[in-house]
Structure 1
Amino acid sequence: MEYLNKIVEKLQKNRVKLIGLSDKEISELEKTIKTPLPKVYLEFLESMGNYTDAKNISPNLYDYTGFGGESIFYDDVYSDYTNKDGLIDQLKEDDKEELLKQIDDNTFVFFSSQGYIFCLF
């Protein structure tokens, strides 16, 4: 692991269960979006891309997964309603037609926060 060592170590130290994706799931995702994923994002998917489970952490640690309210996991990017769908809906709601025109089949939205902040490539 080249990019996420410190994050993974911190989460594991605090007994956060990290569930990554299988190689098959990652391969299917890359086929679907028709482009190789960046290495740092591959590391995320492999280490914790399916979900994190913080139910066993100390009660005095506030949401120590760091992902409260964030849509970053596999189901958020590869399901019936994805982060990309959320972005499109938000742009339509805000009448952002020029931005909406820039979203195409090659747009991959890998992160959404609270339904109004999006990260994509």
Structure 2
Amino acid sequence: MRKIIATSLVLAVALAAGTGMAAEFPAAPQSKIDAKAPKQQQYPKIVLYSVAWCPHCKEAKEYFTSRDIPFINKDVELDDKAMEELTKKYKSQGVPVIVIGDKKVLKGFNPDMFEKAVKDFQKK
């Protein structure tokens, strides 16, 4: 029994320490990794005003996440300041509201409308 416990402890410590296996496989030079990486589209600052239970908010979050579009999510049920911004600054009682670059405001979510708004914003 002691032998099993001792063996288990040795294995656990070895796994926790990483066992040095990575040292046997040198990492690829950084320039080769960067050369193969696809160029990412530059997006302006995107803020999403949402609530957790809203299906359209969920669709927007999933769209942004699946396409690696950086965004700031402000849940208006959890954040009083976000609710105040939504109602006073953006004159909206509904969600989702998407603010692109502090200038373009979309009420509701539609992928085509979002992409068009981003392109229009980038042209300016």
TM-score by length of 1: 0.28
TM-score by length of 2: 0.27
